[in-house]
């Protein structure tokens, strides 16, 4: 019986009729998921969800229909990030062209270490890296796709470490005190990566931000001066282009001047805000980014590409390979290194995260992405107008990007977010601004209408009214 079941799975995998075509099953589940785009599933306690579902892998093989039924039950209890009531993260919505590229990536199942293994897909990835580098302002650059913005930052920090400490890759650290500098509002991956890289989490100097959430350049200079007097070696400076809560942009050009004066590596974490480079109207927000040594850019955020799709870009083509290359004659068997990205990758086996972005960019072009960015800003502008017209709502800071942080009179932002989540009405996060909890609305989904934003605020008012009664 087990042998027959396996044969049926093989037939289904080929598009046969043994137990139901796998593509038909996927299409049916996809249709159900899309039909839920207007909904948010009330997400109960994880222990209850675990009790409701039989998640333990079975001993015997199962028919594909049974597997798809279990898969649907699992997905039913999974937050819908593509719907009109999802504002929780720095990504939202669904892009059909990117989705097409993602689905075919799975079917093709190429690993992206060599041209021998992935063929033309390597060339598409190279074209994307060059194009994105040109948007940063580099005529020539190198780069790598990574499994997320944290890992893109990790790659940049690794290369910066090796540039600042010659011989560290071969011999390890020599005991000298080290420091790296980033905004107090920067992403948590900076400190986490410092620990993973052996630099030490305590080596990170969190530089004070100004009233708009931007790194203070004078405070950066002071920190560098103090460390220089103490004999501390600076490894790198990290400027943030689009902070997680406020969407703030550090002043890159003045920071770059400090970096050049001190001979320190400058990395720009543009995981969130890098996409503004696609809008001539918004590019000034990242003024000076071409002076950086490395740049992180997440296409799975404002560009709407399915998770994950992140790149680490480097102005100097030689340095990434110098930090990551390793001999492997069983793998790198033909072609020039330029066509074997495995010599510049954090990973060996690596899924193709480039194809979905390439497909989407073929569909939209630069002009389409410019329009997407402007639509996201238009939705954020509408949200600001709603807040300013409602005495119950207070805009905490004027948005620099598509993050709109606000407070509700008489209600704690954390409790408002939690109530809406538990009731299955809305998913929105909260974040601290100047030490105060605020509701963070992220207008990442350009398919929303102003009416959808109005409905968002109607739900916020409902939750606040419920909490005031308690």
* 314-329: pLDDT as tens digits: 999 999 999 999 878 8
Q: Count of CB atoms within 10 A of residue 468's CB?
A: 11
How open is the CA angle 105-27-107, to the nearest 5 degrees? 20
Structure tokens at 307: 């998770």
Q: What mean pLDDT is predicted for residues 308-314?
A: 98
pLDDT band of residue 19 (cuts 50, 70, 90) is low
Order of strands, sheet of 265-270, starting from the edge strand that comes earlier in the sequence: 142-146, 310-314, 294-298, 265-270, 233-240, 178-183, 204-207
In angstroms, rounded to a whole number, what is the distance separating the alpha carbons of residues 40 and 37?
8
| Percentage of residues of the chain with pLDDT beyond 70 | 95
In the predicted model, is pLDDT for residue 67 greater than 70?
Answer: yes
User: Helix, strand or coil for residue 432?
Assistant: strand
Q: What mean pLDDT is predicted for residues 370-386?
A: 98
E strand map for 92-203? 142-146, 178-183
pLDDT band of residue 2 (cuts 50, 70, 90) is very low
pLDDT band of residue 6 (cuts 50, 70, 90) is very low
Residue 369's Cβ-side half-sphere holds a number of Cα atoms within 13 Å equal to 29
The region of weakest confidence among 173-182, 332-341, 387-396, 397-406 is 332-341
In the predicted model, is pLDDT for residue 331 greater than 90?
Answer: no
Structure tokens at 64: 């594909």
How open is the CA angle 457-81-27, to the nearest 5 degrees? 135
How open is the CA angle 103-106-110, to the nearest 5 degrees? 135
Average of per-residue pLDDT values in the chain: 92
Structure tokens at 419: 């109530």
In angstroms, rounded to a whole number, what is the distance separating the alpha carbons of residues 295 and 197?
18
- Supply the pLDDT for residue 275: 98
In angstroms, rounded to a whole number, what is the distance separating the alpha carbons of residues 353 and 243?
24
Sign, CA torsion 273/460/85/50 = positive
Q: Which pTM does this prediction carry?
A: 0.93
- Supply the pLDDT for residue 76: 87
DSSP line for 174-189: -S--EEEEEETTS-TH
Q: Are 190 and 153 in contact (CB under 8 A)?
A: yes
Q: Are 149 and 242 in contact (CB under 8 A)?
A: no
Q: Among 213, 122, 197, which Cα is nearest to 162's?
A: 197
| Structure confidence by residue, pLDDT tens digits, 138-154 | 999 999 999 999 999 99
In the predicted model, is pLDDT for residue 16 greater than 60?
Answer: no
Using CA atoms of 42, 47, 49, 54 in order, give the dihedral in degrees to the nearest 10. Answer: 180
- Mutual orientation of helices 149-164 and 317-324 as an angle, nearest 10°? 90
């Amino acid at each position: 019986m087990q042998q027959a079941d396996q044969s049926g799975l093989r037939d289904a995998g080929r598009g046969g009729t043994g137990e139901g075509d796998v593509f038909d099953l996927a299409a049916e589940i996809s249709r159900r998921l899309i039909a839920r785009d207007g909904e948010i599933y009330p997400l109960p306690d994880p222990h209850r969800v675990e009790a409701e579902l039989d998640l333990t892998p079975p001993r015997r093989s199962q028919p594909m229909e049974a597997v798809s039924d279990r898969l649907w039950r699992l997905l039913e209890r999974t937050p819908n990030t593509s719907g009109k009531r999802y504002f929780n993260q720095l990504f939202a919505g669904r892009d059909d062209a990117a989705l097409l590229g993602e689905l075919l990536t799975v079917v093709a199942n190429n690993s992206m270490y060599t041209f021998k293994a992935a063929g033309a897909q390597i060339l598409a990835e190279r074209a994307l890296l060059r194009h994105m580098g040109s948007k940063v302002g580099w005529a020539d650059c190198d780069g790598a796709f990574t499994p997320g913005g944290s890992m893109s930052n990790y790659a940049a920090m690794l290369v910066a470490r090796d540039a600042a400490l010659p011989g560290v890759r071969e011999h390890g650290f020599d005991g000298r005190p080290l420091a790296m500098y980033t905004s107090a509002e920067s992403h948590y991956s900076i400190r986490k990566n410092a620990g993973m890289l052996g630099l030490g989490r305590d080596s990170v100097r969190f530089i004070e931000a100004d009233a708009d959430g931007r790194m203070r350049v004078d405070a950066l200079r002071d920190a560098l001066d103090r460390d220089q007097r103490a004999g501390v070696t600076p490894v790198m400076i990290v400027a943030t282009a689009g902070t997680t809560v406020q969407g703030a942009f550090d002043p890159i050009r003045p920071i770059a001047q400090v970096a050049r004066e001190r001979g320190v590596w400058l990395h720009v974490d543009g995981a969130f805000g890098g996409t503004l480079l696609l809008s001539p109207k918004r590019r000034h927000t990242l003024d000076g980014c071409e002076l950086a040594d490395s740049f992180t850019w997440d296409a799975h955020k404002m560009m709407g590409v399915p998770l994950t799709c992140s790149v680490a870009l480097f102005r100097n083509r030689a340095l990434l390979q110098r930090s990551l290359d390793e001999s492997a004659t069983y793998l790198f068997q033909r072609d020039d290194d330029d066509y074997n990205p495995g010599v510049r990758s954090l990973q060996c086996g690596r899924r193709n995260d480039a194809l979905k972005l390439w497909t989407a960019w073929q569909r939209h072009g630069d002009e389409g992405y410019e329009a997407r960015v402007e639509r996201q800003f238009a939705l954020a502008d509408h949200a600001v107008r709603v807040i300013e017209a409602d005495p119950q709502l207070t805009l905490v800071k004027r948005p620099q990007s598509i993050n709109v942080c606000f407070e509700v009179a008489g209600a704690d932002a954390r409790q408002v977010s939690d109530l809406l989540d538990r009731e299955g009405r809305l998913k929105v996060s909260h974040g601290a601004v100047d030490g105060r909890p605020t509701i963070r609305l992220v207008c990442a989904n350009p398919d929303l209408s102003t009416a959808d934003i109005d409905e968002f605020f109607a739900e916020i008012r409902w939750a606040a009214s419920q909490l005031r009664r308690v």
